[in-house]
Chains A and B, each alone.
Chain A
Amino acid sequence: MTVTQTPTEAEQRGFVQQLTTSVNWRTGLLIPFLAVVTALLIGIVLIMLTGSSFGQAMDAYAALLQGSVGSVKAISETLTAATPLILAGLSVAIAFRAGLFNIGGEGQMLVGGMCAVFVGFSITGLPIYVHLPLALLAGFIGGAIWGFIPGILKAKTGAHEVIVTIMLNYIALRLVDFFLKTELFQREGRNDPVSKTVEASAQLTQLLGWMNPALRVHLGLIVALIAAGVINWLLFRTTTGFEFRAVGANPNAARYAGMSITKVYVLVMMIAGGLAGLAGSGQILGVLDRATPGFSSNIGFDGIAVALLGRSNPWGVVAAAVLFGGLRAGGQQMQVSADVGIDLIAVIQALIIIFVAAPALITALYRLKTPAVSTQISKGWAS
């Protein structure tokens, strides 16, 4: 997913509001559920357009199901894929809440991951309960710094965070390439850009490794769930979260109430960056054990989709991330056993997002009753 157009401030404000306010069972559960069902139905049509029969399409979906929840291994893969999506989704969601669009998850993941891998391989001899938290903290801080830059630029100069974060993604991507070729990072005896291996004491332990070493789901899942709980608490139970939400929903009222918009923009972008940094760290410390070019593999962008589907609600984000994780994991299986390309998964994900972002499509398709009072009707934009 790449973003090439910048929405105007007003469009963005409306968009953000649409995605964060008035969450009820209908917007929060029914529409996303129908969006997923519809996207899967369209997926069948697409598979059949490639010359497969309906039966083959069903086989493909059977493989998708099998590969996502059909076995302990499948569930482990789903959760492994969901782990960084939860964190990247939270990153986008919390920024949304404060009215900012964080497109910079990729860059923040990369910078965070590089910090984590550095702490992971360069320090030796520490026990895991010191080394691992230290590496995760480094990852959070790295991402937070990469989030601080667009935050402070937005607050002080009005530079649009969408532009700045997109550009910072490119910078981060190339910085990783550069550092992986330096002596500091590059593994001895290798010419390709691969970092040194993370010490065992900084690796996120496999949760089900005692059952079968191939079950990759790792401690990062717990970290991600704790993060969701903390963000939920922060947003709805603290004065800081109150300020985030007020600034996101009505910056004028926030200013009137004496809140510092500057502080909110900077702080929320640092937290968002930190969460994405944790996502990158989790991949490094829990799955890859080393850094390679582009190890973020678009998870930062998928985080946007996860936040949209989860309506910027922390637990909604967790649910959406597990769904997308399942699609990813099942997609692999589908590719192998039903010979349907994993690209279909990307298409289905994109369709889900379109349906969630344009609920009118779903409403019309399923002839749901529209909510009776449409308050927008009589308000001109010139008012």
Chain B
Amino acid sequence: MELQLRGITKRFPGVLANDDVSLTARSGTVLALIGENGAGKSTLMNVLSGLYRSDAGEILIDGVHQTFRDPGDAIKAGIGMVHQHFMLVPVFSVYENVILGVEPTKAGGVLNRREARREVKEISERYGLAVDPDAKIENLPVGIQQRVEIIKVLLRGAKILVFDEPTAVLTPQEVEEFFGIVAELKARGATIIFITHKLKEALAVADDITVLRGGRVVGHADPTTATPEDLAAMMVGREIDLTVDKEPGTPGRTILELTDVTMVDDYGRPLLNKVSLSVAAGEIVGVAGIQGNGQTELVEAITGLLPISSGRVEFDGADISNRSVRDRHVLGIAHVPEDRNDMGMVGSFTIKENLVLDSYYAAPYSKGGRLQKASIQESALALVEAYDVRPPLIENTGGALSGGNAQKMIVAREFSRDVPLVICAQPTRGIDVGSIEYIHEQIVRKRNEGKAILIVSTELDEIFALSDRIIVMYDGKIVAERLVGETTPTEIGLFMAGKGS
């Protein structure tokens, strides 16, 4: 089925989220919708899925005008959304999740399990999804959970599938498999809209590309001829350089040293297995690895958020293995956490409060236990300006910022401290190209000032762009260590998959 949007306009108080947006997804093709965070992609999809009603414009499916009063109408019209955050019941099985809300029943309202299982199995086989209908969701990897979401929308008769940032949560292997599924869906006639800000992926799978900026369509691109640089320039409205410009680092004395650090979970299983590494002043060490191979625990062991079972963590020559988070902060560890919403900020706090979230207790922000409003205000104004947090309204809540700007706020807070060690976990996850470029520049600037930097990222491109030295984690262990000039993404990729040796 062909989907057309014509002149979609959606206003929120003070914001024009979509301004006269028109686009076409041709039948049986993949349309990539790209744009920075806040460009209006999500609003547009919410209009399309019936969650919002547009102020102007129309939606046409195969040339027929559609009116969606609620998400049910959109589903009936054949539009299926696969959200970035899955909406699955973890303790239910696959088929139970799939039929939730459309349960086949026998007389008297009794659930027809056999029929349900059969339907799920059939769809799974028809599209080559290979999902066991009886597996429990909580036991499945994220990639398979995503397939369950796909089966869900297919079962509801979707012919137009909308994927919102589908690869954000996947491992590189799962991304490959996902692209295979997209190809299969396309071959069977489905129309696919693929929302992303990963330019390479858009180029890899799309038949057409539409670029949004500031709520408007700023251009269309042909993936056979366009380059990532072209797309990035369209997205941010200026030329952008995706490679990071930097000289090789000049490592000085060792700032952080881990020796045989081991951490176990509540059941005694190792999360970190004899991890030893060091980071010197003036170098960037990048920790590569697929999500969930101990990187989170590594960072929390260094910052003191999780206790280690054995081994030593040394900072500037002193053993800090048993020191508190606060102590380590005071000693001089800055930390940009992996999860900016859940850990990096308090969404309901104002920007100025978030900017002193971990330094509120010290001068000049407090005196005798009293917060010094003037100093906090002054520093906040300087930081939003220096780190380009937009909009620079320090009385707004942190939660009101877009992902990229929230991250810039956190980077501002941590980088403005003149400390020897900076740890950045997933510094640019899920943020727009403009912000990524900016944050990368800041990281390199920090290194050039002679700070020791530890970067954890699941994006191999980012690891290669920033690091002087690369460490690969797999299954809680460090499986490889290479200087950046002496390795290739392919080699590191193999180590990440646990295959190198």
Contact = CB atoms under 8 A, between A and B. Distances in A.
Contacts, number: 96
Given A17-B348, A380-B83, A382-B87, A246 B305 contact: no
Contact of B358 (A257, A377, A380): A257
Interface string A7-48: 000000000010011100000000000000000000000000
Given A255-B305, A258-B324, A250 B347 contact: yes
B343 A256 contact: yes
Interface stretch (B20-28, B173-181, B366-374): B366-374
A252 interface: yes
Report the contact-size class of chain A (Cβ under 8 Å from the partner): 20 to 34
Interface in B41-92: 42, 46, 51, 83, 85-90
Which 6 interchain pairs have the tightest Cβ spacing? A383-B85, A258-B326, A380-B87, A257-B358, A21-B348, A258-B325
A174 interface: no
B159 interface: no
Nearest to B359: A257
Interface of A: 17, 20-22, 237-240, 242, 245-246, 249-250, 252-260, 372-373, 377-383
Contacts of B344: 253, 256
Contact of B371 (A238, A257, A382): A238
B86 A239 contact: no
Contacts of A259: 326
B395 to A, nearest CB: 12
Nearest to A382: B88
Interface string B359-401: 0110000100111010000000000000000000000010000
Contact of B369 (A240, A254, A258): A240
A380 B86 contact: yes
Contacts of B324: 258
A382 B87 CA distance: 6
A239 B342 contact: no
B12 A372 contact: yes
Contacts of A22: 348, 397
A377 B86 contact: no
A312 B42 CA distance: 34
Contacts of B345: 250, 253
A253 B89 contact: no
Contacts of B343: 250, 252-253, 255-256
A253 B356 CA distance: 12
Interface residues of B, number: 43
Contacts of A372: 12-13
B80 to A, nearest CB: 15
6 contacts: A22-B348, A238-B369, A250-B348, A256-B305, A258-B326, A378-B83
B346 A250 contact: yes
Nearest to A241: B371
Interface in B251-285: none
A245 B86 CA distance: 30
A380 B85 CA distance: 6
Nearest to A374: B51
B87 to A, nearest CB: 3
B353 interface: yes
Given A253-B357, A258-B324, A239 B348 contact: no
The winner among B88, B348, B373 for most chain A CB atoms within 10 A is B348
A382 B357 contact: no
Contacts of A381: 87
Given A238-B370, A256-B335, A377 B46 contact: yes
Contacts of B353: 242
Nearest to A242: B360
B325 A239 contact: no
B329 interface: yes
B127 interface: no
A381 B358 CA distance: 28
A239 B369 contact: yes
A244 to B, nearest CB: 12
B346 A246 contact: yes
Interface string B315-329: 000000000111011
Nearest to B12: A372
A379 to B, nearest CB: 6
Nearest to A22: B348
Contact of A378 (B46, B90, B346, B373): B46
A3 B360 CA distance: 37
A237 B370 contact: yes
B389 to A, nearest CB: 18
Contacts of B86: 380, 382-383
A263 to B, nearest CB: 11
Given A242-B360, A378-B46, 10 more contacts: A22-B348, A239-B361, A239-B370, A242-B371, A250-B348, A257-B360, A378-B42, A378-B51, A380-B87, A383-B86
Given A253-B345, A256-B337, A372-B13, A378 B85 contact: yes
Given A380-B83, A382-B89, A239 B358 contact: no
B90 A382 contact: yes
A250 B358 contact: no
B479 to A, nearest CB: 28
A260 B305 CA distance: 11
Contact of A249 (B90, B339, B348, B361): B348
Nearest to A254: B346
A237 B371 contact: yes
A300 B339 CA distance: 39
